[in-house]
């Protein structure tokens, strides 16, 4: 059950990153940051799962150290009282720092890929974002209780349309997703950057 909770947390942040990607890609001024902004949101998922794991391990360790034997206390909603606002604040700051560092390094790296390699990368990421929306479509179809023989074909068709649509859009127009060539610390030429 806990693994399902962790998967749901990660999926929620992936969905948030996908929505941020679409919103950033639609605004021309922020289009070149769309991939890194989506990654910034997506990194919050594993970090949140890690913080929950640390909190759970802390609760178990506290129970063993104090040998109170009060195992029913694990099920009461006193996690915030047990760890306090300090744990949440430090976790928030550490997660924001990690996500910002990963997004900055990502932005640094994608500006140093050749055009062909970046085109493949942008296509794969955009197709993955399409699959996130495809899963949401499938769950929506299940929630509306479509018949078994209608729901699955619609879901598979919708998933394929979303994956192929976003992937092909990124393949056809990757230049807008990364901006101008870097001026320093680059190991590729401007021609390789532009795909000329």
Work out the pLDDT band at 148, boundaries 50, 70, 90.
low
Across the range 60-66, mean pLDDT stands at: 71
pLDDT of residue 147: 59
Name the token pair of 127.
């197709």
**For the segment 4-14, what is each residue's pLDDT rounded down to a tens digit?**
999 999 999 99
Across the range 129-135, mean pLDDT stands at: 94
Residue 133 to residue 155: CA distance in whole angstroms: 11
pLDDT of residue 125: 95
Across the range 112-122, mean pLDDT stands at: 88
pTM of the model: 0.81
- Within 10 angstroms of residue 146's Cβ, the number of other Cβ atoms is 15
pLDDT of residue 139: 85
Across the range 132-158, mean pLDDT stands at: 82
Identify the sign of the CA torsion 125, 116, 169, 157.
negative
- Confidence check: pLDDT of 73 > 70: no
Domain boundaries, the chain: 1-110, 114-196
């Amino acid at each position: 059950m806990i693994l399902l909770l962790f998967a749901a947390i990660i999926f929620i942040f992936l969905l948030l990153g996908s929505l941020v990607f679409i919103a950033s890609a639609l605004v021309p001024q922020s289009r070149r940051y769309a991939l890194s902004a989506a990654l910034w949101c997506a990194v919050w998922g594993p970090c949140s799962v890690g913080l929950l794991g640390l909190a759970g391990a802390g609760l178990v360790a506290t129970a063993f150290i104090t040998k109170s034997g009060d195992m029913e206390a694990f099920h009461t909603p006193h996690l915030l009282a047990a760890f306090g606002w300090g744990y949440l604040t430090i976790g928030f700051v550490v997660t924001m720092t990690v996500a910002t560092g990963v997004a900055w390094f990502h932005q640094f790296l994608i500006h140093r890929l050749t055009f062909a390699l970046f085109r493949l990368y942008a296509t794969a990421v955009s197709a993955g974002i399409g699959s996130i929306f495809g899963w949401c479509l499938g769950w929506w179809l299940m929630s509306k209780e479509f018949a078994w023989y209608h729901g699955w074909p619609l879901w598979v068709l919708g998933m394929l349309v979303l994956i192929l649509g976003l992937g092909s859009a990124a393949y056809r127009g990757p230049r807008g997703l990364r901006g101008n060539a870097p001026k320093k610390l680059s190991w590729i030429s401007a021609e390789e950057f532009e795909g000329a």
